[in-house]
Chains A and B, each alone.
Chain A
Amino acid sequence: MTAAAFRHALDLVTRVRGVRGAMLVSGDDGLVVAEQLMEGIKGTAVAALAASLSGRLRRAMEAAGVGVSVFWHLQAEQGALLVVSGGGSGGGGLLIVAVAEPDGNIGLVRLGLLGAGGGGA
């Protein structure tokens, strides 16, 4: 993907109402590839934790026989973290990560993430 393609992918997510920011993260090492985050969000640390959680979930879900995780959603009191696997090489691939407000439309964010990742709903 080019820098322009990264920007386009993030735009697809951040234009959804209630999204506080989005990142592209390397699933293998948890490094930020590109980001559009609201000020105050610690992108580097969040990326590392999101990648680590993705890895644990992927291994657990594969062991459970439900296949590779295509989307996951961490619900919290004051918002949510949503992640899709954008494909790519290695076990982790590229992750598209969004941070959403508590009253955000999770369904729309999910569609935006899947669209950005090149997957269907």
Chain B
Amino acid sequence: MADDIRALSAQLAQDPQSLVFLRLGEALRRKGQLDAALRVAINGLERHPHLADAHDLYARLLADKHDYERAFDEWDMALRIAPSHTGALKGLAFLYFKVGDVAQAEAHLEAAQRHEPDDPSIAQALAMVRGGVSPPAPTPTAETAPTPTATPAATAPTAASPLDESRVFAGLEGAQEGLLLLDAAGRVLGGALRNPAGADVADAVAAYLAGVSQEAARTAKLLGLGAWGGLSAEGQHGNVHLAQPSKDALLLVVRDRGVPLGRLAILAQRTTAMARRWLERQG
């Protein structure tokens, strides 16, 4: 196993765009080196944000660390990218069972079985769920490198900027025009924002938003509303959503009025998860 890991690490070092990170991450996971596996998975996700198998790997690692909420998000993301991803279906079934939602667990396993009727592990998990026993924690469906589901554009190598900032939102819809990550002092951490005339307004908007998260937190606290989760606003020509990926960072998503506030909040939720991962990696 150690030799395998060394060999896979060497392959990945030679070709960082390679999908061998999936096998390396899983090998590290099986060896119990979860932190190393997480680093490999996060690096892989940054390079291949539209690869369902990468989200699946990351979700398995989060589940191993008992971070079930984020594991759910990652498996959910994998399913959005590849609706028939059996690894994600099994993972969600595992989580649903954990919270006592047997019906959803069963439904997800049945969906997985429809896509892979010959997989004995799915039949076994279904039998366990129907018998009231937790299905085993998900494992990858194949030991070989999975087939990528990303579009060529999403995975094409890009020239990394010195600070790698342009990749904070790599792969997200509209990442180059209406997403901004800033710190508590109003400095831009990543993303880009242009006004309708095409002028770069990122720095100005970030500066105006400095202190918003603290004020939002104070307002919510004063009203006894607990922690704030988001701030949506309708403008005359566009809508914005603010979220807090970490205590010291603020995320702004801007779209035209054609994107309703509810949909904007969903987009912001996805973006927040990606920004959070990036910030964790920086820290």
Contacts and interface: CB of A to CB of B under 8 A. Distances in A.
Interface of A: 40-42, 45-46, 49-50, 52-53, 56-57, 59-61, 63-81, 99
Nearest to A54: B233
B283 interface: no
Interface stretch (B5-13, B105-113, B150-158, B235-243): B235-243
Classify the secondary structure of A's interface with B: mixed
A57 B233 contact: yes
Given A61-B240, A66-B238, A73 B261 contact: yes
A86 to B, nearest CB: 15
Contacts of B261: 73
Contact of A59 (B195, B208, B225, B236): B208
Nearest to B218: A49
9 contacts: A46-B222, A56-B209, A63-B195, A66-B235, A66-B238, A76-B229, A77-B220, A77-B226, A78-B224
A64 B219 contact: no
Nearest to A40: B224
A71 B241 CA distance: 12
Given A50-B219, A60-B208, A74 B231 contact: yes
A4 B69 CA distance: 50
Nearest to B233: A72
Contacts of B129: none
A78 B201 contact: no
Contact of A72 (B201, B218, B232): B232
Contacts of A66: 235-240, 254, 256
Given A53-B219, A64-B254, A76 B225 contact: yes
A71 B238 CA distance: 11
B16 to A, nearest CB: 35
A77 B195 CA distance: 32
A6 B234 CA distance: 24
